[in-house]
Chain A
Amino acid sequence: MGKKLLLANDHVPGIQSLDVYSKHGGYAAVEKALKTMTPDALVEEVKTSGLRGRGGAGFPTGMKWSFLAKPEGVPRYLVCNADESEPGTFKDRYLMERIPHLLIEGMIVSSFALGANTSYIYIRGEYFYIVRILEKAIEEAYAAGYLGKNILGTGYDLDLYVHPGAGAYICGEETALIESLEGKRGNPRIKPPFPAVKGLYQCPTVVNNVETIAAVVPIVNMGGAEYAKIGIGRSTGTKLISASGHINKPGVYEIELGVPVEEFIYSEEYCGGIKNGKKLKAVVAGGSSVPILPGELILKTAQGEPRLMSYESLADGGFATGTMLGSGGFIVMDETSSIVKNLWNFTRFYHHESCGQCSPCREGTGWMEKILHRIMDGHGKQSDIDLLWDLQKNIEGKTICPLGDAAAWPVASAIRHFRAEFEAYVNNPGSIKEVRHYYSVNNLQPA
C-alpha cells in the first residue's frame, strides 16, 4: 500500500463531522501553525516540502506564496479553486465530500501563512450538495473557535465563505475565477499584473487548488523536510488521481508520486486493468487538456524506461513522446475506442467553453470541431488533417489564457500519434461506419 496523507481516514464513519475529524488528529495543524509558527516560517516550510500546485500547472506552491505582495493597509486574499471542470477530473469533489474539514483546516493554516483575514472557496455551481457539506463544516469550525475572531486566542481573525460558480470551465483559470467571484463574466485578465499583486478587488491574492491547500495540513504536521522525502525527485508527496474510462475500478486514488504507470493501470490496488479483458489503446493522463499518448508511450518512455506517475516522468520526451501530469485526470481508452471521435468530443468541449475574448480560440475551436465532425462522418479530405494541424498551431500560445493551448494540445497529439487513423477515416470512410466508438451501456461488448 502506498502512503496516504490526504485520504488516510476517508472511510472512517462520521469523518465529515468536526468531532470525529478531530479525534483522528484533525486541526492539529491549526494548533501548531497558529500557536507555534510565524507566517514566514510556514511559507518556508511549504517551500521546503517541494509541494507543487495540484490544479494542473504544477507551479511550486511555496514560491507562489512568497510572491504575494504585502502593501501596508491593503487586505490580502486566499481563494481556493474548487471549480474542478477539467474533463476527467473529480478528485476535489471526492476530497470535499469525504473529508471537508481537511480543506477547511488547510484554508485556515494557508490563510494565516498569507496574512489573509477573509478567504473564499470558489466551487463549481453544479456541486450544490458539496456547498452544503462545506458550509456545515465551516459552521462547526466557527463553533469550535477555529474560525472567526481571535482564533485559539492568538489574535488572528479569519472569515471563510463558500462561493458557487454557475457552469463555466473557464472560471477554473485563476483570473477568470477572480472576475467571476467579483460578479462578472468569466473573462480571463491579461497578465501582468498577476493576482499576487492585483487579484480579487485589485488586492494581492493567491489562488490555489483544493488538493494543494489540503496538502498543507500534512506538511505542517510532519514538517516540510519529511514531506519532501515522499515521492520521487522534484515530484514530492502524494497526488490524487481521478481514474476513469475503460478500466475495471474507476475512482479516486491517492498515489505516492513515482508509482509506475503500468502498476497504476493494471494492479488491483488501483485501476485493476482494462475492462472486459480488452487491450489498452491510449491514455489521457492529466485531464482532457494534456497530450494523449498511445499505450506503448504511456507505459514506457521513448527510451524504453518505465514511465512513472510523476511530473517529470510523464513529461519525459517533451510533447514529441511525452505528456503532463496536469490535474491527474487519468482517462483510459481501450482498443475499441476511436481517437478521431474522442478528439471531436474534446474539441466540442473547448469550443463550447471558450470565453470568446480571443479570436484564435473562439473561432479556431469551432473550426476544429466542424472539421473533425466532417472527418468523423466520412466526408473528410486528406487536406483536412493538415488544416487541423495548422489550426491548432495558430491557437497555441496566441491567446490571453491557456485555454487555447488546452484546446490545441489534444489535437496536435492525436494527429502526431494516430495520424494513420485520421487517414483511414478520410481514405476509406465506408469501413469506418462499422466501427463503434463507445460501449453501449446495455451491451458491454462493442457491436
Chain B
Amino acid sequence: MNNSSTNIENPVFSTESLALVHKIMKRYPEGKQKSALIPVLHLAQAEFGGWLSPKVMDYVASLLSIQPIEVYEVASFYTMFNLKPVGKCLIEVCRTSSCWLLGAEDIVHHIERKLNIKEGETTTDGMFTLKTVECLGSCGTAPMMMVGADFHENLTLEKVDDLLEKFRVENKQSRYC
C-alpha cells in the first residue's frame, strides 16, 4: 500500500486497495454496498495514517455511493475508528476485569510514566499514543495490550519496557489490518 496518496487533503486509495474495495463490495447483494462500509473504513484507516479525517470519510462515502453523514455516524460509533490523529504507534491496554485483576492498572501507570503522557494522549514527538480499551478476548493471557493490530499478552512491566524500547528503535508504525 505504498503508491497511494497519503495526502489526507486529497485521499485516493492505491490501485491495489481500490481493487480490494471492489472485491469487498461484491460480498454483499446488489444494492447493499453500504455493508462494505466498516471493512472499507478499516482499509482507509490503515492507508491514511491511522485515523479517519473528514476528507477520508467523504472519499469513502463517494466510493460506496452513500451520503457522508452515513459514514460519520458509523465512524463515530465504533471505538476502533480514530477520529483524531494518533501517534505512529498506537498502544491500547485492556482495562477490563480479568486483565485488571492481574495488574492492568499497573501496566497503564507504568507506560504513562515511561512515556510521560496520560492515558488518551500522544507523546510530543508523535511516536506513541496510549489508550485503554475494554476486554479484547485475551483474558486467559492477561494482562494484555494491543499495538496496532498485534496482541501482546502475559505482560509484565519488564516485557512492556522491552516492547517500548523495541518500538522506538524500530520506529514502529502500527499495522491496522
Contact = CB atoms under 8 A, between A and B. Distances in A.
Given A88-B139, A182-B35, A184-B74, A166 B41 contact: yes
A110 to B, nearest CB: 19
B136 interface: yes
A439 B134 contact: no
Nearest to B27: A161
Contact of A85 (B100, B137, B158): B137
Contacts of B77: 168, 185-186, 355
A87 B98 contact: yes
Interface string B40-55: 0110000000000000
Contacts, number: 168
Given A88-B135, A89-B139, A90-B138, A333 B101 contact: yes
A128 B66 CA distance: 26
Contact of B98 (A161, A331, A355): A331
A126 interface: yes
A125 B70 CA distance: 19
A242 B140 contact: yes
Interface string B62-88: 001010001001100111110000000
B103 A440 contact: yes
Interface string B129-163: 00001111111111100100111000111100000
Given A85-B134, A244-B98, A439-B101, A167 B80 contact: yes
Interface residues of A, number: 62
Interface string A58-96: 000000000000000001000000001111111011000
Contact of B134 (A75, A329, A352): A352
A331 B156 contact: no
Contact of B149 (A129, A159, A333, A440): A129
Nearest to B149: A128
A439 B102 contact: yes
A106 interface: no
Interface of B: 27, 29, 32, 34-39, 41-42, 64, 66, 70, 73-74, 77-81, 95-98, 100-107, 133-143, 146, 149-151, 155-158, 176-177
Interface of A: 75, 84-90, 92-93, 118, 120, 124-129, 131, 159, 161, 163-169, 180-186, 201, 242-246, 250-252, 284, 288, 329, 331, 333, 337, 342, 345-346, 349, 352-353, 355, 438-442
15 contacts: A88-B97, A89-B139, A90-B140, A128-B149, A166-B81, A182-B32, A183-B37, A245-B102, A245-B139, A353-B134, A438-B106, A439-B101, A441-B102, A441-B103, A441-B143
Which 3 pairs, one residue from A and one from B, show the smallest C-beta to C-beta distance? A166-B78, A441-B103, A183-B37
